[in-house]
Copies of this chain bind each other. A is one copy, B any other.
Amino acid sequence: MGIVVQKYGGSSVADAAGIKRVAQRIVATRKLGHDVVVVVSAMGDTTDDLIDLANEVSPLPPARELDMLLTAGERISMAVLAMAIQSLGHEARSFTGSQAGVITDAEHGRAKIIDVTPGRIRAAIDEGAIAIVAGFQGVSQTTKDITTLGRGGSDTTAVALAVALKADVCEIYSDVDGIFTADPRIEPRARKVPRISYEETLEMAAQGAKILHLRCVEYARRYDMPIHVRSSFSDKEGTWVVKAEDVRQEDSSMEAAIITGVAHDRSQAKITVVGVPDKPGEAAALFRAVADAQINIDMIVQNVSAAATGLTDISFTLPRGEGQTAMTALDRIKEAVGFDSLQYDDSVGKVSIVGAGMSSAPGISARFFEALSEAGVNIEMISTSEIRVSVVVAETQVQDAVNAAHAAFDLGSDEIEAVVYGGTGR
């Protein structure tokens, strides 16, 4: 049997009872004959508690020291998990990111993995031990300082180790049963997807579905590492994230679904710049100002200019947390660009349909927009990609929009599956 890499998030190891439960699951996998490598996040709220402590002594904790501090969280969970496994009679050894050979650049707080040299992990599993690795952390190749990988870091650690160890699969455990056709909290008929392509998963994640972090899916896609997303609270099969060919192959016997799922995102805001002179370079000046403020914008819509005035309106969406900064940056260039005013709206939401079958099926956008119209949902902005159509709507209409899209593309199951749906850890 081959190597299985399993990643458990903070909610799965929130307390001693959770750690014991996870330990039993790991031992069960070991007993099937697999070599098991486990990546673990910090227990429950540990990371937040450590950040609070840092803020008590420093208004702006230095990044190097914050990384040193936060990595204590995984150190605790991995050691305790190794103890719990050993008390079940199986050899287990914990390793820090550095010991596991997770080599990164020196960007504290958002380091990128540049190499994985898991010699000690391989030695441990060759000796029959279960290896427990701290997620979210590594060591800088240049400074030898401890680094953290930022959001989604533990998922990325797991996939990177799985690739380096040539594992059969990377299992990502959370408190969710898998990837669903929509968020079950707002769409009771949401159905678990058995298989989904890396590309669709990336689009779903980018459009707000709280499944897997983009980085980890991109890493898995690049090296073609299958990810099995499943719940640590049940034994159910979860969702397999694989390459598109493998999804098609599996689905060949039945008619392939055109749409895989509906994602929604309530974390964005919309800024409209009113009365922009419709001359070359004006839009560029606006977006340069926003980019210089380190803000990631998402969708952009420019109205057709009114011939009489020679003025146009430009709207774009961005993360709500960055709204204030963007408004300040734009206000600073108001006179230079010569626009009339700024409007800020944080009561918007984005709803997207995602599906690899979309590119070969005409009329998808039309069916989506008709469904929204019939549900009385007003579309404020539209953007599309090869395998996705997104709309911005009023936040109060997000749920209606998701339900309408889900029904229009027959995504629902006949019975309502009982699931817990939460955010992914780090």
Contacts and interface: CB of A to CB of B under 8 A. Distances in A.
Interface of A: 16, 19-20, 23, 50, 53-54, 56-62, 64-66, 68-69, 71-72, 75-76, 78-80, 82-84, 86-87, 92-94, 99, 120, 144
Contacts of A66: 79, 83
Contacts of A94: 65, 68
Contact of A83 (B20, B54, B80, B82): B54
A87 B59 contact: yes
A127 to B, nearest CB: 12
Contacts of A59: 87
A87 B80 CA distance: 33
B99 A84 contact: no
B57 A68 contact: no
Contact of A84 (B16, B57, B79, B87): B57
B62 A83 contact: yes
A72 B68 CA distance: 10
A68 B71 CA distance: 12
A83 to B, nearest CB: 4
A262 B65 CA distance: 44
Grouping DSSP codes into helix (H, G, I), strand (E, B) and loop, the A interface class, with mixed when no group exceeds half, is helix
Contacts of A84: 57-58
B16 A56 contact: yes
Contacts of A65: 79-80, 82-83, 86, 92-94
A76 B58 contact: no
A58 B87 contact: yes
A31 to B, nearest CB: 19
Nearest to A76: B72
A54 to B, nearest CB: 6
Contacts of A92: 65
A20 B56 CA distance: 9
The complex is assembled from copies of this chain, and their number is 2
Contacts of A16: 53, 56-57
A68 B69 CA distance: 15
B83 A57 contact: yes
Contact of A71 (B50, B75, B87, B144): B75
Nearest to A74: B72
B58 A86 contact: yes
A69 B43 CA distance: 13
28 contacts: A16-B56, A19-B57, A20-B57, A23-B57, A53-B80, A54-B80, A54-B83, A57-B84, A58-B83, A58-B84, A58-B86, A58-B87, A60-B87, A62-B82, A62-B83, A65-B83, A65-B86, A65-B92, A65-B94, A68-B75, A68-B78, A68-B79, A69-B75, A69-B76, A69-B80, A72-B72, A72-B75, A72-B79
A57 B23 CA distance: 10
Contacts of A80: 53-54, 57, 65, 69
A69 B61 contact: no
Nearest to A15: B56
A58 B16 CA distance: 10
A416 B288 CA distance: 72
Nearest to A92: B65
A84 B62 CA distance: 10
